[in-house]
Structure 1
Amino acid sequence: MTGTRRGPLLLILFAVLMSGAGNGISLVAFPWLVLQRNGSAVDASVVAMAANLPLLVALLVAGAAVDYLGRRRVALISDACSALSVAAVPILVLLFGTQVLNVAVLAVLAGLGAFFDPAGITARETMLPEAAADAGWTLDRANSVYEAVFNLAYIVGPGIGGLMIATLGGVNTMWVTTAAFGLSIAAVAALRLEGAGTPDRAALPDGVWSGIVEGLRFVWRTPVLRTLAVVDLVTTGLYMPMESVLFPKYFTDRDEPAQLGWVLMALSIGGLVGALGYAALSARTNRRAIMLTAVLTLGAAMTVIAFLPPLPLILLLSAVIGLVYGPIAPIYNYVMQTRAPQQLRGRVVGVMGSLAYAAGPLGLVIAGPLADRAGLHMTFLALSVPMLLLGGVSIFLPALRELDRSVEIAS
């Protein structure tokens, strides 16, 4: 590849940074607004579940929307809707007072914002191969930097979120979130890239549902995609409650919003380093080994965190989790981009993402009540032990050996 036009790639990366930062702020702000009312982990789980339950359907629809409506258009619509959903929090308070922010209202707004986010993520990710080709980057390098920027957003976002809550309060923090989405909209509006505009409808099925089914069928018939989807589904279901409920519960009980931001930042700093290092790491070891190391390390680190050690050790373990798991998203991206035909890429990304989040709501339903009744220690263990078992089982999955088979981008 000899292209040197880096503008589209830089605009995509900036949009990822701003949109991800907005989501990162929300990750701290929404649970804090709920827990500040009554300290209930169950209520926090309701809002966290509302923010994750739509993802199963939203990602399926998002993938079809990207293929049918166009990548750039969907990215713009997604960020605009996400901005409106978070701006609604301070607007409602201005109109009706803080009493309007009950659990139901916050759950609805969190759910609306979550419903639109996957479309933007899918749209930006599916533009990456063409942008990388224009810039003269390899796909591994582009995916590595893309995921590093995504992790950087979750360093900036939760960090700003924790600081803004401490200084401005949870409600006014949502204005900062709205501004971040606005900057992402501006970047995508300036983007011009081959394949990002209106797609060729002649290459698509007549109906959206038949298109979604086509994407599901393709993933199911591709062993490496099918196996990755199942592993990601279980991993997400076990890990998500820790970040969305257990850590917020732990630090809310201690009235330490900034410390919550630090832990989430440590996860993202580790992920940033891991993702950036992936391009170099992939030249020295195979993708399967990287993935198995990540799942096993995640289970071991979560087990130690279950004993609620001092904050410095929690921060260290969080950074380790991020470090070993940082390369996983670039690996997933590479496999999807090289196995899926161009006209099917959005739906494959959507299917894989929706399957990854299918177990998330179930994990949240279990984790919230369990934390209130059995305590954080037992809840962490209930999530970490199955994670260790998953790592052991993954060693014997033959489809994961396909991760190291090099193929060209599907046309």
Structure 2
Amino acid sequence: MRLVPIAYLSSYTLSLLGNSVAGIALPLIVLQMTGSVLGMGALAAATAVPAVLAGLFMGVVIDRINRRTSSVLTDLVSAAAIAALPIVDLVSGLNLGWFILFGIIGSVGDVPGLTARDALLPAIVRHGNISAERLMGLRESLGAVAMLLGPAAAGTLMVVFDGSTVLWITAGTSLLAALVTLLVPHRVGDIVRDLPQADTDAVPATGWAQLREGWRVLFRSRFLRATTMLSIVSVVVLAALQGLVLPVYFTLADQPGMLGYVLTALAAGMLLGGGAYALLGARGRRRWWFVAGIVGTTVGFAVVATLASVWVVFAGAFVVGLSGGLFSSLVGVLMIERIPEQMRGRVMGTQNSMMTAGPPLGIVVAAVVTELASLEAAAITLAGVWSVAAVVGLSVRSLRSLEPTEETEATVVRTGA
């Protein structure tokens, strides 16, 4: 494998690992330093809206500048925001206001950073001598590794080091991710600008007009609407299960520590699913991979929703991870092929923003159903929501033919160098 995909995948893993560690460690540090559970919720709420807005509006910037540069800059913003917290702690001490301030600043780097890396994918395929299937499969597998290591690393670091000291390490992973991205040649991040003259003249001049143009591309495409809907629903359902249903289930079963093992089973499934797609994704018809991912995820959610026993939940989580690894890898390949090169920042920024906003909504809905009915009813409701989305996904005409065409192949093959 060439340096370009190795550097890209390494940077992606480091960034995701840092976010995974911070996602566990930061709320615990807030609780340690403020003694307020409400403060943990306030931090999450205060950073959610800026993250969504940044994802929406920074897509225009990502479509205007070199995409390697935008990826590096967003990692540096994240690193600086996290590193500022232990510095303030040394100088004057931390309070909730500081956490919220730098949490908002850091959120400006999170979703745009993910979007910048997503927008860079076609160039990695073109310049890295790697197939889109292998690249996306490896990316999903490495994401699962980060998901496995992050919580364990966060717990270990919180035991070994003082709270704010841990933040130096999480900031270091973001900084290292930025430095590794610099190994990707600058020209790889150049935006391909070879549209016909008539199309080029039609590109809106203002940032707001360009943003609306990206939304028009996303919401007028039946294919993009369908795949975005499936991705959002899967994230919402999974977040509600992880964030509310399963924690409550294991707490009622007097086994709260088992939640971590369920997440391990989920990540292990994702690791195998992504690895399988990396090895075999270029073989067979894509429709088969799509159906396998959708049906497998439906079965997995249904098994988890039974809440029959701890081991049944483990098995269901593994199936969800395995099938989700296949589905996410395939969707990533399709996004590489079918989103116009010059629209990738705006389209994928909107997609990532919606997927960032979705999980809190799913948790709230699950909480309401649990309160009004029962935990079992909430689990069944979530599985039912995904089942409806799965039936729609398997039925819509735009997702029946997924094989590459001459037009989609040109999107990936075009060198632009």
Same fold (TM over 0.5): yes
Q: Is the counterpart of residue 28 in structure 1 residue 29 in structure 2?
A: no
* Aligned counterpart, 2:124: 131
* Aligned counterpart, 1:327: 326
* Aligned counterpart, 1:57: 53
1:111-150 matches, cutoff 5 A: 111-150=104-143
| More displaced stretch, 360-369 vs 273-282 | 360-369
For residues 236-267 of structure 1, the C-alpha deviation after alignment (integer angstroms, 9 at most, x for no partner) is 22222333455566678999897554443332
Change (3 A) 1:188 1:226: same
1:269-348 matches, cutoff 5 A: 269-306=268-305, 308=307, 311-348=310-347
Are the counterparts in 2 of residues 65 and 119 from structure 1 also a CA contact under 8 Å?
A: no
Give, in whole Å, the separation in 1 of the partners of 2:343 and 2:238: 29
Q: What is the DSSP-based 3-state SS (H/G/I as helix, E as strand, rest coil) of the residue aligned with 2:185?
A: coil
Q: What is the DSSP-based 3-state SS (H/G/I as helix, E as strand, rest coil) of the residue aligned with 1:148?
A: helix
Q: Is the counterpart of residue 363 in structure 1 residue 362 in structure 2?
A: yes
1:353-392 matches, cutoff 5 A: 353-368=352-367, 376-392=375-391
Change (3 A) 1:296 1:165: farther
* Aligned counterpart, 1:190: 183
Give, in whole Å, the separation in 1 of the partners of 2:160 and 2:369: 32
Change (3 A) 1:220 1:86: same
| More displaced stretch, 271-280 vs 171-180 | 171-180
| 2:69 partner amino acid | R
Give, in whole Å, the separation in 2 of the partners of 1:324 and 1:369: 28
Are the counterparts in 2 of residues 60 and 350 from structure 1 also a CA contact under 8 Å?
A: yes
* Aligned counterpart, 2:69: 73
Give, in whole Å, the separation in 2 of the partners of 1:375 and 1:163: 35
Q: CA deviation at 1:115?
A: 3.4
Give, in whole Å, the separation in 2 of the partners of 1:295 and 1:263: 21
Q: CA deviation at 1:309?
A: 5.7
Give, in whole Å, the separation in 1 of the partners of 2:91 and 2:251: 28
Q: CA deviation at 1:182?
A: 1.5
Q: CA deviation at 1:81?
A: 1.6
| 1:162 partner amino acid | G
* Aligned counterpart, 1:211: 210
Are the counterparts in 2 of residues 21 and 156 from structure 1 also a CA contact under 8 Å?
A: yes
| 1:273 partner amino acid | L
Change (3 A) 1:326 1:39: farther
Q: CA deviation at 1:17?
A: 0.9
* Aligned counterpart, 1:408: 409
TM-score normalised by length of structure 1: 0.82
Over the residues paired in the alignment, what is the CA RMSD in angstroms?
Answer: 3.6
Q: CA deviation at 1:75?
A: 1.1
Give, in whole Å, the separation in 2 of the partners of 1:247 and 1:34: 24
| 1:228 partner amino acid | T
Q: What is the DSSP-based 3-state SS (H/G/I as helix, E as strand, rest coil) of the residue aligned with 1:69?
A: coil
Give, in whole Å, the separation in 1 of the partners of 2:83 and 2:342: 35
| 1:67 partner amino acid | D
Indicate the percent of aligned positions where both proteins have the same amino acid: 27
Q: CA deviation at 1:336?
A: 2.1
Are the counterparts in 1 of residues 52 and 111 from structure 2 also a CA contact under 8 Å?
A: no
Change (3 A) 1:25 1:279: same
Are the counterparts in 2 of residues 296 and 392 from structure 1 also a CA contact under 8 Å?
A: no
Change (3 A) 1:23 1:254: farther
Q: CA deviation at 1:141?
A: 1.7
Give, in whole Å, the separation in 2 of the partners of 1:118 and 1:340: 18
Give, in whole Å, the separation in 2 of the partners of 1:56 and 1:71: 20
| More displaced stretch, 247-256 vs 89-98 | 247-256
* Aligned counterpart, 1:160: 153
Structure 1 unaligned runs (5+)? none
For residues 66-92 of structure 1, the C-alpha deviation after alignment (integer angstroms, 9 at most, x for no partner) is 111221221122111212333344445
Change (3 A) 1:216 1:184: same
Change (3 A) 1:142 1:356: same
Give, in whole Å, the separation in 1 of the partners of 2:310 and 2:105: 33
Q: What is the DSSP-based 3-state SS (H/G/I as helix, E as strand, rest coil) of the residue aligned with 2:187?
A: coil
Change (3 A) 1:397 1:169: farther
Q: What is the DSSP-based 3-state SS (H/G/I as helix, E as strand, rest coil) of the residue aligned with 2:401?
A: helix
Are the counterparts in 1 of residues 119 and 345 from structure 2 also a CA contact under 8 Å?
A: yes
Larger Rg: 2
Are the counterparts in 2 of residues 296 and 387 from structure 1 also a CA contact under 8 Å?
A: no
Change (3 A) 1:159 1:254: farther
| 1:408 partner amino acid | E
* Aligned counterpart, 2:14: 18
| More displaced stretch, 115-124 vs 280-289 | 280-289
Q: What is the DSSP-based 3-state SS (H/G/I as helix, E as strand, rest coil) of the residue aligned with 1:327?
A: helix
Q: What is the DSSP-based 3-state SS (H/G/I as helix, E as strand, rest coil) of the residue aligned with 1:176?
A: helix
Are the counterparts in 2 of residues 81 and 116 from structure 1 also a CA contact under 8 Å?
A: yes
Give, in whole Å, the separation in 1 of the partners of 2:119 and 2:165: 34
Structure 2 unaligned runs (5+)? none
Give, in whole Å, the separation in 1 of the partners of 2:389 and 2:357: 17
| More displaced stretch, 244-253 vs 207-216 | 244-253
Q: CA deviation at 1:323?
A: 0.9
Give, in whole Å, the separation in 2 of the partners of 1:73 and 1:308: 46
Give, in whole Å, the separation in 2 of the partners of 1:217 and 1:12: 30
| More displaced stretch, 210-219 vs 328-337 | 328-337
